[in-house]
Structure 1
C-alpha cells in the first residue's frame, strides 16, 4: 500500500465518522518557543488550551513535521528521520476513550477492501497507563484483546502532557509484532524493535500543575471537557504494509536513494565496512533532501540562524554526502525534482512552487561548492603549517573558523584532517562552539525581553484575548488586565519604571506581518506612559512595553490608548508601499519573484524576495517607475474578510512562514493587481502613499535579494538631499549638473593613465631593488643567500619582491629571506629555488631558526614560507640566525 494511500485512508476513515478534515499546517511553527512543527497536535494546541474555539467538535489531519535534534543520528540508524507525517484524530469534548479505541481498532484491523489497513489482529499489542483499568476493559471489550497482549507502563511511557501546566492525560499505544526474527518475545516492554509502535491515543482528562504526572505527581484537577488527541506514524505504517525493513525502503524514500545511486555510481546495500559507510550517506541524502525541499516549499530560505540555518545544514549535508560517495557534480536540482514527484500527490504546493524551490536549493548548492573550494584552501594552509611545525593536531580554533566562516561541518574537517594524516583538537572546537551558543542564548534572551516564561501571559490570555480597534480608531478606552516585569505580575508601576502592560482593548498596532509597532501613549486617572513597543503573545494577547512618565499605573485601572497620528500615517504609507513594490516586482520579474520577508515603518520599507541574481540598474528603475505609476493612478485600497479558500480563489498571496486564522484579512490594491493576506494598517488610496524611491538592492542569503525604499516625506527628503549633493559637486567642478557624467569620465580616464604611468615606475623601481639585492648576495657553502631588510614594505609587496629575486637566481641553489621591520610588526618571506630545496633545505624549517628573534609565527611549503613577528628590533639577529641555519643545513651542497 502506497504511503499516499495510507494517508488518504486515514482521512477518509475519520471524515466518514463525522470529523472535519483540516489540511496540514506549515512546517514553520506558530509557537514562538520552537522553530518547526514537531508534532501532529501542535496546530491544535490553541484549542486544547482554550485559547481558540475549535472549528468542529471532532477534527482529523495528517500533519507535516520536522525534528532536527537528532540530526547527527540520521542515516547511522534507520529509525531517525528529520521529516515525518503524523496522522491524528481529535475530539474536543465529544467522544472519549471508547470512541478513540473503537475508531483506531476499526481502521488498523479493518480489511483493506473496506478501506482499512488490514493488520492481523493477532499481532496487535497495546500498552496502557499503569492504573488505567478503564482502558484495559475497553480494549478487551471492543477489540477482544487478551490480557497478555495488554501491558501496563508508568508515566514516562504512557502519560502525556505539553511540558507545562495545563491539559494532559494517560495514553494507550498500539504496537505491531513484526515477528521473532526482529527480536525477543514478551511484548513492547521487552523489545520495541520487534514490537513497533504505530499509534498513540492520548486521553486528555487532567489538569497538571507545576510537576508532571509523568514523574508520579498527581494532577491538580480534571478538565471540564475530556478530549482526545492521537498520533499515527504514517511512515511506520508504510514500511510495515509495504513489507520492507525500514522507512528508507518505502516508496517515498527509496526512489531518492536510487537517483543518488545513478548520480554517484555507488550501490546502496553493497555490504562490507565501506558499504555500511556508503549506506549511511545514501540515507542522509534521502532524508535531508526531502526535509529540505518541504521546508523551502513552506517558505524557509537558507541562512545563518534559526530555521534558515537548519535548512542550510540539511542541504549542505546532502551535498557533502554526495561528494563523499564520489559525485563532484551538482546534485540538488535532480534530487529536489525527485522529491517533487514523490510528495506532490499529497502536497501539491511542492509541484506548483517547484521553480522557486529548485532555484533556492541550487543557489545554496552553488554557494556551498564555492565554500568548499575556499574552505579547502584555508584547511590546506593550516594543515601545511601544522606539519611544517612538526605537529599532528589541527587546532580547534581552525576547525571552528572553518565551521563558522566557511560552513564546514566538523565531520568534514575531521575527514579531511584524517586524509592529511592529522587529527583535530575537538575539545577546543567544542569549547568554542559552546561559547558561541552561550553568547547566542544570552543575546536571544536579551532580545526576548523576559518573554521566556510564558505562564503569566497564558493566564492573562485565558481571561480573553486583547481586542484590537486600531483599524478604525486611534484612541480606545480599555482596562489594564496585567502589569509585568520579566514575566512576573506586579500590582503597580511608578514614574520612571519600564513595564509590560496588557490591555483588554487597544488601538496600538502590535508588530507583526513585517509592520513595526505603533508609537503612542497610555494614560489614565493620575498617570501617563509612553509606549516603547507592542508585541503579540500567541497572536491574541497585545503586550505593550511602556515607560511610566507620570504618576502610578495600577492593575485594573481604566486607560485610554492613543496612537501617534503622524506615526500611523507613515506606517500606513510604508505598509501599502510594501504591497505596491511587491506587485511591481512581480510585474517586472514575473510571478516567481515572491516575497520572502519584509519590514516597514514610517518612511522606510524593505522587501526580501526569492531571486538568484542581482538586479540591473535598468530593472531597478523599471520597478521604481511601476511603483510610482501605481501611486499616481490613485488605485483604491480595499480590505475584505473571508476564508482561506476564498482568498485563494481571489489569487491572494500568502506570505511564507505566516500562520493564518480560519477567517483571513485580504488587502487589495487596484483590484487584482495586488491581492495579499495581511493584518497590517493601510492607506485608503494608493496616492496617499506618496513618492517611492528605491535606495538599495542587495543579497541577504542564497537565492534571496533585498530591496529597500524610502516612502512618503522621507522619499522627498532623500531626493532633495541627492539634488543638493549633485549641485555641490557640479559647483566644485564648475559645470552644469547635466555635464557631470562627461566631466567625471574624463577625470577618471586621466586618473587611469596616471596610474598606468605610476605602475611603470613602480615596476622599474622593484626591478632595480631586486637587482640590487641580487648584487648583495653572499655565498654560504654552496648556497647563494640573499638576506636583507626592506623597511616599510607591505607583506604583499614583500612576497612579490622575494619572488622576483628568486626568479633571478633560478639557475642555482639559492635562499631569499626578506624582512620588512615596521613599528610593532615584522612581515617576512623566505623563498627557495628548486636547487636549494633539492639540497635538503626547506623554507618552513628555516623560518623556525629566527622566529624567536622577532617574536614571530609563520610557516609554509618547502619552497616558500611567510609570516610575521611583533619585535622589529630583532630583525638583524633574525637574518644572522637564518644564515647560520643555511650554513648548518645546506653548506655542503655544491
Structure 2
C-alpha cells in the first residue's frame, strides 16, 4: 500500500466505526501552534491539549486525525537509523471521556490485523507483540481477551517506556504499544529494547491519572484519578508504510525514496553501495521534505528558534549533496520531487510553491556564499591555532563560525579533522546552551508568562474561564478572583507594587494575533491600578499585570467590586493599527502577487509592522504602490465586518489563515474589509469602516532574515504627525538652501556630489604630500650587512597610508640590491605596521611575514602575511620606536646567521 492509502484507511476505519461510534475527522493543524513550550507540533495530541487539560470543552466525544509533526532533538541521528526523521505524520484516534481501554485496543487490533482486501492493513498476527505497563493487569486482561494471545506474547515494560505524561503536573496514564517483529536478521529473539527487531508503531495512551508532580519519565506523583478518562493514540504513518511496503526503513517509502533517486541521478552515487553515502542520501531525503513542510506553514530561515531549525535543515541537505560530489544548486532539483509526492495530500504545497521555492532556493544561494566566506574564516582560525602551537579549535571559534557564518558544527568538525585539528565540542555546546537559555528567557519575558502555568490552571479550574467582553464594551464592573505577585498568590499589593489580578469579567484586550494589549485603569474603593499588560497564560484565563497607583489592593474586602476601564484613545489607535495591518497585507498581495503572505505582525496604537515571505528588497516604486493602494482603500471607505464560521467554511470562503496562529476547528472569526478584497481569520479589534483608519504612511521596508521582509507604517493621528514632521524637515531644508520643495532633491544631490569631489581632491593632495617624502625616506636607508634597511615612523597615518608609503619606498630603492622597508604608523591610539621586502632580500632569507609577526606582540597586537608584503596592528603607541629599532637587529641576525 502506498502512504496515501494507509492514511485513507486509517481515517475511514475510525470515521465509519460502528463499535464505539463514528469519530469526527479533524484536519491537521499547522506545524506552528501558540505554545510557549514547543517550537513545533511534535505529536498528534498537541492540538487537543486544551481538551485533555480541561481548558476547553471539545465539540465531539471522539476524533481522528493525521497530524503533521516535526521533532528535532534527534537531528544528528537522521539517516543513521531506521526510525529517526524530523518531519513525520502521526495518525491518532482520541476519546474525550467516551470509550476507554477496551475500545482503544479493539479498534487498533482490528485495523492492524484485518486483511487488506477488507480495508485493513493485513499484518500477520504472529509478528505482533502488544506491550503494557508492568502492573497494568486491566490492560493485560483486555489484550488477552481481544486478541486471544497468550501471556508470553504480551510484553511488560516499565514507566520509562510505557507511562505517558506531558512532563508537567496534569493528566497522565499508562501506555500500551503494538510492536512488529521484523525477524532475527534485525536482532536477537526477545530483546525488546532493540527497536530494529521489535519496532513499535502504535502507542495507546490510557489517560486516567491526575499528576501532582513530574520529576522524570519514571519519577512522578499521582494525586488521584481524572474526572474523565481519555484515550490518546499515536500511530507513526512512516513506520507502517515501510513495514507494509517491504522496504528497509522510512527513507525508502514511496513519498521519500524518489528524492534519493533524484540525488543519485545528480551525484552519480548508488544507494546501498557505501554506508557513508547512504546516510547522506537519507539526510537529503528527510531534510528536503521537512524544510518544504516548514516553509509551507510559514517558517523562514533565521538565526533563532524555528528559523534556525529550518536554516539548519536546509544547509545540512545542501552540504550533504556537496559531500556527495554535487556542487551546483541542489534544491531546485530535489524539492519539486518531494512536492509532487507530498502534494497529493497537502495541496498547499502546489498553491504556495512560488513562495516556498523562493525561500528555499534563496537560502541555498546564501549558504553557497557562506561556504566560501566561512571556509576562509575557518582557515584563518586554524592557522592561529597552529601558530600558537595548539591542536584544538576553541569552543568560542566554533561557536562564532556557527553563529556568525552559519557553519553547522559537524561541518566545522569535519574541516578541523581534515586540517589535523580537534574542536572543543564541550565549550561549543556550553555556549549553544547559554544562547538557547537566553532565547527561552527572552521569549518568556516577551510573553509575560511564567514557565510554570500551574497557578493559572488552578485558578481556571476553581473559577472557570474569564468572561471576555473586549468586543462589546470598554468598561465593566468586575469581581477579583485572584491576586498574584511573582507568579504566586499574595494577600495584597501596596502602593507602587506590581502584580497580577484575575477578574471574573474584563473589557481589556489580551495581547494576541500581533495586537498589543489594551491600556487602562482598574478602580476600587480607595484606590486605582494602572494596567501594564494583559495576557492569556492558559487558554480561557485573562490575567492583568497592574501597578498600584493609589491605595492598597487586598484580595477581598474593599476590593470586592472593581471598575475596569480601557483607555478609549488607546483602543481607537489599536483598532486603526490592526485594521491598517489587514489593509497593508491586502495591498501587498495586490502589488506583489498572492504568494506575498504575512508571516508575522505587531500593531499598537498608531503603528504597525508586517512581516512577509519575500526574498528580495522591494523597489521604492513597489513600496509607494503598496502605500497608495492602502490609502485608496481608506478613501473608498471600504466596509469592515466580521462573522463566525467553521474553519472549513472560512477556507472555502477564501479567508487567509495566517502562519503560526492557532484556530478553533469548530468556530473561527473572519474579518473582511471590502468583501473578498481582504478576508482573514482574526480575533483582533477593528474599525467599522476603512476611512476610520485615518491614513497609512509607510515608513520603512527592510530585511528581517533570509526570505523574510518587513514593512512598517503609521496610522491615524500618528501617521499625520509623522507627515507633519517630514513637512517640517522639508521646510527647514528649503529655507537653508533657499530653494523650492520640488528642487530640494536636486540641490541636495548637487551638494553631496560637490562634497564627494572635494573629499577626493583632499585625499589626492594628502596622499601626494605623503608620497612626496618617499624619496627622502628611501635616501635615508641604512646598510645592514649589504641590505638596505628603512625603519620609518609616520604619525597620524592609518593602515592604508602606511601600506602605500612602504610599497612606494621599496619601489624607490635599487631593485638589484636587497632591501627591507618597515613603516609604522600611529593614529588615534592605534598602531599599524607594514613590512615590504624585495626579491634579492628574500633570496637572503628575509621575510616580511617574519618581521611583522615579531613586531606585532611588541606593539600589543599581531599580524602576518606573505614573504614580500605583510601587515599588522597593535595598541601600544609608546613602543613604536623600540619596535623600529628591532628591525635592523633582526635583519643582521638573519643575514649573518647569528
Name the TM-score, length of structure 2 as normaliser. 0.95
Answer yes or no: is 1:146 the counterpart of 2:143.
no
2:322 counterpart residue number: 323
Cα distance change on mapping 1:387 and 1:215 into 2, 3 Å: closer
Q: Distance in 1 between matches of 2:232 and 2:362?
A: 41
Cα distance change on mapping 1:448 and 1:874 into 2, 3 Å: same
| Native 8 Å contact 1:450 1:486 kept in 2 | no
- C-alpha offsets along residues 440-490 of structure 1, whole Å, 9 cap, x if unaligned? 455445445451111011112223222221112110122212112222122
Structure 1 residue 99 displacement after superposition: 1.0
Q: Distance in 2 between matches of 1:453 and 1:535?
A: 15
1:134 counterpart residue number: 138
Pick the aligned partner of 1:591 from 579, 591, 594.
594
Q: Distance in 2 between matches of 1:277 and 1:833?
A: 50
1:635 counterpart residue number: 638
Secondary structure in 2 matching 1:545: strand
Residue range with higher mean Cα deviation, 516-525 or 874-883: 874-883
1:745 counterpart residue number: 749
1:860 counterpart residue number: 865
Pick the aligned partner of 2:832 from 824, 827, 845.
827
2:30 counterpart residue number: 26
Structure 1 residue 631 displacement after superposition: 0.8
Residue range with higher mean Cα deviation, 291-300 or 147-156: 147-156
**Unmatched runs of 5 consecutive residues or more in structure 2:** none
Pick the aligned partner of 1:566 from 553, 564, 569.
569
| Native 8 Å contact 1:185 1:191 kept in 2 | no
Pick the aligned partner of 2:891 from 886, 891, 894.
886
- C-alpha offsets along residues 131-179 of structure 1, whole Å, 9 cap, x if unaligned? 2222222222211112210122222222212222222222211111111
Pick the aligned partner of 1:682 from 675, 686, 694.
686
1:516 counterpart residue number: 516
Structure 1 residue 881 displacement after superposition: 1.6
- C-alpha offsets along residues 726-762 of structure 1, whole Å, 9 cap, x if unaligned? 1111111122223323322332343343344334324
Structure 1 residue 30 displacement after superposition: 2.8
Pick the aligned partner of 1:606 from 587, 590, 609.
609
1:123 counterpart residue number: 127
1:308 counterpart residue number: 307
Secondary structure in 1 matching 2:401: helix
Matches for 1:755-770 after TM superposition, within 5 Å: 755-770=759-774
Matches for 1:256-271 after TM superposition, within 5 Å: 256-271=259-274
Matches for 1:394-405 after TM superposition, within 5 Å: 394-405=393-404
Q: Distance in 2 between matches of 1:709 and 1:494?
A: 40
Cα distance change on mapping 1:868 and 1:434 into 2, 3 Å: farther
1:176 counterpart residue number: 180
| Native 8 Å contact 1:75 1:281 kept in 2 | yes
1:875 counterpart residue number: 880
Secondary structure in 2 matching 1:701: coil
- C-alpha offsets along residues 541-590 of structure 1, whole Å, 9 cap, x if unaligned? 21110001222333353222111001111111111111111111111111
Structure 1 residue 391 displacement after superposition: 4.6
| Native 8 Å contact 1:130 1:152 kept in 2 | yes
Matches for 1:331-346 after TM superposition, within 5 Å: 331-346=330-345
Q: Distance in 2 between matches of 1:206 and 1:436?
A: 36
Answer yes or no: is 1:86 the counterpart of 2:94.
no
- C-alpha offsets along residues 322-377 of structure 1, whole Å, 9 cap, x if unaligned? 22222222222222212211211122212211111111111212222222222222
| Native 8 Å contact 2:612 2:710 kept in 1 | yes
Cα distance change on mapping 1:812 and 1:668 into 2, 3 Å: farther
Cα distance change on mapping 1:216 and 1:420 into 2, 3 Å: closer
Q: Distance in 2 between matches of 1:163 and 1:397?
A: 33
Cα distance change on mapping 1:440 and 1:610 into 2, 3 Å: closer
1:644 counterpart residue number: 647
Q: Distance in 1 between matches of 2:288 and 2:858?
A: 54
1:798 counterpart residue number: 802
Residue range with higher mean Cα deviation, 8-17 or 767-776: 767-776
1:818 counterpart residue number: 823
Answer yes or no: is 1:195 the counterpart of 2:198.
yes
Structure 1 residue 678 displacement after superposition: 0.8
2:856 counterpart residue number: 851
1:204 counterpart residue number: 207
Structure 1 residue 834 displacement after superposition: 4.4
Secondary structure in 2 matching 1:588: helix
Q: Distance in 1 between matches of 2:449 and 2:748?
A: 55
Matches for 1:58-69 after TM superposition, within 5 Å: 58-69=62-73
Q: Distance in 1 between matches of 2:807 and 2:216?
A: 75
Q: Distance in 2 between matches of 1:505 and 1:864?
A: 76
2:413 counterpart residue number: 414
Cα distance change on mapping 1:214 and 1:387 into 2, 3 Å: closer
2:170 counterpart residue number: 166
- C-alpha offsets along residues 493-529 of structure 1, whole Å, 9 cap, x if unaligned? 2222111111221111111111111110112233320
1:494 counterpart residue number: 494
Structure 1 residue 659 displacement after superposition: 0.8
Secondary structure in 2 matching 1:220: strand
Report the count of equivalent residues: 888
| Native 8 Å contact 1:452 1:487 kept in 2 | no
Residue range with higher mean Cα deviation, 296-305 or 839-848: 839-848
2:74 counterpart residue number: 70
Structure 1 residue 861 displacement after superposition: 3.5
| Native 8 Å contact 2:167 2:214 kept in 1 | no
Q: Distance in 2 between matches of 1:551 and 1:34?
A: 41
Structure 1 residue 890 displacement after superposition: 3.7
Cα distance change on mapping 1:586 and 1:207 into 2, 3 Å: same
Q: Distance in 1 between matches of 2:584 and 2:828?
A: 53
Q: Distance in 1 between matches of 2:265 and 2:663?
A: 42
Cα distance change on mapping 1:865 and 1:495 into 2, 3 Å: same
Cα distance change on mapping 1:879 and 1:394 into 2, 3 Å: farther
| Native 8 Å contact 1:483 1:490 kept in 2 | yes
Pick the aligned partner of 1:718 from 698, 719, 722.
722
Answer yes or no: is 1:243 the counterpart of 2:246.
yes
| Native 8 Å contact 1:849 1:881 kept in 2 | no
Structure 1 residue 416 displacement after superposition: 2.3
Structure 1 residue 426 displacement after superposition: 3.7
Structure 1 residue 781 displacement after superposition: 3.3
Answer yes or no: is 1:707 the counterpart of 2:705.
no
Q: Distance in 1 between matches of 2:721 and 2:379?
A: 52
Q: Distance in 2 between matches of 1:465 and 1:163?
A: 24
Structure 1 residue 438 displacement after superposition: 4.7
Q: Distance in 2 between matches of 1:767 and 1:301?
A: 52
Q: Distance in 2 between matches of 1:681 and 1:835?
A: 80
Secondary structure in 2 matching 1:401: helix
